[in-house]
Amino acid sequence: MKYLVTGGTGYVGQHVVRALVEKGNDVVVASRNASTPQAGISFLELDVLDPDQTTYETLGRPDVLIHLAWEDGFNHASKKHLENLPKHIEFLRNMLSGGLKHVVGVGTMHEVGYHVGPVFETTPTFPQHAYGIAKNHLRLVQSLLCREYHAIDHWILLLLHLWRR
């Protein structure tokens, strides 16, 4: 399988890329910044927020997209979350219209909102800030686009545990 990982140079992305390579997969990382070549990984300098209808071809026609790229993730009130949302949607649309058949989107517990108790797949979302609202919207649009293009749709929700010592 050929995987494209956006945001593959970020904290979570590095772990995802390493795990995919260790399992013998062909991995392409799309990043705004050139990266040091590593065994088993192809790096392509590309800004996914600058959508292009040929992106799927440019990125080597991957089998699976793992879309981790996100700007200002730790600043939940940043205007970039809502400003960049249409660009993320256009990137997904271009990939799917090009022929992509499997999308894995990634969000966090912030899409659920300020929820008390365990979070399940059926827990309703009620985001309370720009980051959560944008990610939740992208999740919904991703699902819609995958149905339209007959692609497999997965959304992974990262639940972060913070504790103090």
* Residues with a known catalytic role: 131
The distance of Cα 117 from the centroid of its chain, to the nearest Å, equals 26
Dmax (CA) of the chain: 49
Distance (Å, whole) CA 148 – CA 143:
9
Please calculate the CA angle 115-12-127 and round it to the nearest 5 degrees. Answer: 25
Exposure pattern of 92-104 as b/e (b: 16+ CB <10 Å)? bbbbbebebebbb
